[in-house]
Each structure stands twice: as C-alpha cells, then as structure tokens.
Chain A
Amino acid sequence: MHPITTFPSSTATPDHRTVLNAQGIPDDAAVPKRVASLIDEGLEIFTGLVEATGLRAEITVEEFGAIYDGDGRNAPRTPLEGILPDAHRLALFAVTVGEAVCGEIRRLFGEGNPALGYALDTIASAGAEKLVDAMAHDYQEGISQSEPTLSSVRVLPYSPGYCGWHVSGQRKLFDVLDPQRISISLTDSCLMQPLKSVSGVLVAADKEVHDFDVDFAFCTDCADQDCRERIQTVFLDSRGGQ
C-alpha cells in the first residue's frame, strides 16, 4: 500500500503576492488596504483549516500506458505520448488541501461574503498547486539520492483533463492509486472532491524530453497555455534558478 504523505500547512500556504497575482492583480499595481487585509484574513483561515495530504505510487511505463489510454478518449496525438518512451521513472500522485477549506469557501459565498470566499478559493487553488510542486520536488530528490546517475533528471506533473489526456482517465488512475484513502472521491463526470485536489503522473526525464511545441490540435482551445511556464521551470532549475 502506498504511504500517505501529510504536509505541514506551511508547505501548502501560498505567499501574499502569489494570491494577488492569481486574483488578477499584477506586481506593479497599487493594492488597496482592504484587499491586502482580505488576503491576510484568507491566508489565516486557510492555515487553520488546511489538511494537506498526498499519495504517490511508482509505476512502470507499461503499466502507465494502460491507465493513460483510459476509455480511449484521449486526443489523437498528445505530448505525453512523445515523452513517455524517454522517461526514466514515473509515479502516480494525488494531493488535496482537504474538505474543510472547500466547505469554508462554500459557507462564505452562501453567507454573503464573496470577497473573502473568493480570496480563500484563490488561496486554496494556489495551495493545491504548491502541494503538487512539493510532491514533484520530493520525487526528484529521492531519485537523485537513490540513483546518482539520474541526478540531472527533472520531474514535471501531467494531469487528466489537460494536454489531450481525457479527464475520464481519472477512473483508471483512481483504481490503481486509490486516493479515497486521503478522502478524495470521483464524481460521475470524473471531477475530484474536494475540488481543491490534483492528481496525475509525475514524469522524471532529462529536461530536453519535457520540451514540446504547442502545435497540438487541442492547444488552440487552451485558455492559459501554462505548460510553457512549467516547462521553463525545468530549464531555470537546471541553471540554478528557481
């Protein structure tokens, strides 16, 4: 059985600036005092309620192939198909900030406090992403220590619902990883509950392997294209950045 990781709240808590950016407020904008206080209040609530947990399970490329195919609804061509053959190691993962935070977001909206509800929602989303980063970082560190020949590999996460991997792939991923153990369940439409949860596969590969051109059919429908940013971190990290 795959061990459960419990993260300290500090690992999941994003910084003030990240939250402001996520709320559409750029670095150079003057932040009204009331908005700054709102973020502080949201961060305090988040720190008090977050129950940050995660699961990770090593898997072979062959085993992952069956999961990745899911219900056969992936895009005809996807970045992972090109990356997988050159991957050194893979691990399934799931992380969550817990139901208490999500329940509080609903309560705040329901009780007519959308400003704080939205602040907490933004914080929780950023928090879930921080947990993915922590999970990827731990995996990369573990590989470097156990296999010194792989010390230059870089780990990036990929999730169902993105980059051509159909969201129905969640079902097979859940069958193998069993994230119900950390209280993440799957709806009929393959959404995770608590909502502020992330699952997928961590891919450990040489940094060049992670790079791909944004020329897939689904890229034109992608609103944020934040894959470029994620890929860039691999190269920054290898130059001592980040």
Chain B
Amino acid sequence: MDVLSEIAASLRSGDDKRVAQLTQQAIDDGLPADEILNDGLMSGMQVVGVLFRDHEIFLPEVLLAARAMNAGVDLLKPLLAGGDVPTIGKVVIGTAKGDLHDIGKNLVGIMLKGAGFEVIDLGNDVTAERFVDTAVDSGAKVIGISALLTTTMSSMKDVTDLVRDRGLAGEIHTIVGGAPVSKEFADEIGADGYGYDAANAVEQVKTLTGG
C-alpha cells in the first residue's frame, strides 16, 4: 500500500497519531502537499462520509476521522499556497436566534470541512442580519441554520425572509436542520434545503452549490 492509501486507511480508522506520522513521511518523501491533501486525507474523509451516509459506521467514528484529518492538515498548512487549505466553497453556519444548542451545528461544520468546504461558524444565537451580512461579505453561497427547539426554529424564517427581501434568493441558498425541523417546515419557510442529519446536510450543500 502506498503512503497516500495508508493515510486514507488510517484516517478511516480514526488513528490521528498514525495519520500525522504518515503525512510527515509523505512530506519527507517529497510528495506535493496538495496531492497528500487530496489523494490521502480528503480521499479518506470521502470514504468516511459515504460509510456514515450508508449507516456502516457511527458518528463517533466520523469525529475520530475528523480529528485525524486535522492532525494531517496541520502539518500540510505551512506547505500549501498562502498557508490556506484549498476549498470547494464557503458556508456560513450558526444556531437560530435564541438557541444555544450547538452540538448539531458543530457536527455539520466538521463534516462540511471534511468534505472540503470553508466553514464560517457564527456560533450561537445568531440574528438574521448577521447570517446574511456575513454571507454577503464573505462571498458564501450557503447559509446553514440549526435549531433544537420549536420555539427558536421560527427565527429561521427571519433568515429566509431576509435573503428574499434583499433580493439574494438564488444567489445565497439557505439550508435548515435540527431535531424539530422537518422537510415540510423547510418548504413552508422557503428554505432551499433541509438536512435530516449531518451527513445529509453535507449532501444538500453540495447539491445547492452544484458540487
């Protein structure tokens, strides 16, 4: 097995120390950083995403893989152009206004990063204005909003309304998710997408961005 395949396999098993060791070995062998990133780390993370989507592995295993990926990326960053990891798009995420439950949002952010997106995480209790302003300023094409409570999911509509009121519909897409949120609710408030879990949210974002 070549070193890149070994990186992917070690990432799949969540072995962060081995991933770091192999990434360093690949760097020392003179492999280009973007090749290590794409054919080693990202390749492994894609397999993890598919396995999770197909219910063949569980969420903690995805998170261990994400930790292993971070271990490899940290070594590659100084070698990549400008120190930036190349991305396939930007996504702004946060919890709905009034909501402080951020675990679901954090998981989506981790999986989006694993899929190659740049994630701008606004944290908790985010106003509609902040979501939209950040997306406009950063050039993000997707806003992801998470809510755990029925009482806070109503503020998701403030975001979809604001995107429409500012004439940004079609340019900036919205996707919603969280325990009380349903496809019907997403349609009702005019969201462009609904993620029923973290893996599905990533699939939806890829679809929305034409990925």
Contacts and interface: CB of A to CB of B under 8 A. Distances in A.
Question: A and B from one assembly?
Answer: yes
Interface of A: 23-25, 29, 32, 34-35, 38-39, 109, 112-115, 117-119, 121, 161, 166-168, 187-191, 193, 195, 218, 221, 223-224
B195 to A, nearest CB: 14
Contact of B179 (A115, A187, A191, A223): A223
Contacts of B138: none
Interface of B: 13-15, 58-61, 63-64, 66-67, 70, 97-101, 103, 106-107, 110, 125, 149-152, 179-180, 182
A161 B98 CA distance: 14
B44 to A, nearest CB: 15
13 contacts: A23-B59, A34-B13, A34-B64, A35-B64, A114-B63, A115-B60, A115-B63, A119-B60, A121-B103, A187-B98, A189-B152, A195-B100, A221-B182
Contact of B151 (A112, A190, A223, A224): A190
B66 to A, nearest CB: 6
Given A118-B103, A191-B99, A24 B59 contact: yes
Contact of A115 (B13, B15, B67): B67
B151 A161 contact: yes
B107 A24 contact: no
B61 A167 contact: no
Contacts of A114: 63, 66-67, 106-107, 110
A231 B182 CA distance: 26
Contacts of B98: 187-189, 191
B180 A118 contact: no
B150 A35 contact: no
Nearest to B197: A24
Contact of A109 (B60, B100, B101, B106): B106
A72 B106 CA distance: 34
A29 to B, nearest CB: 7
A113 B13 contact: no
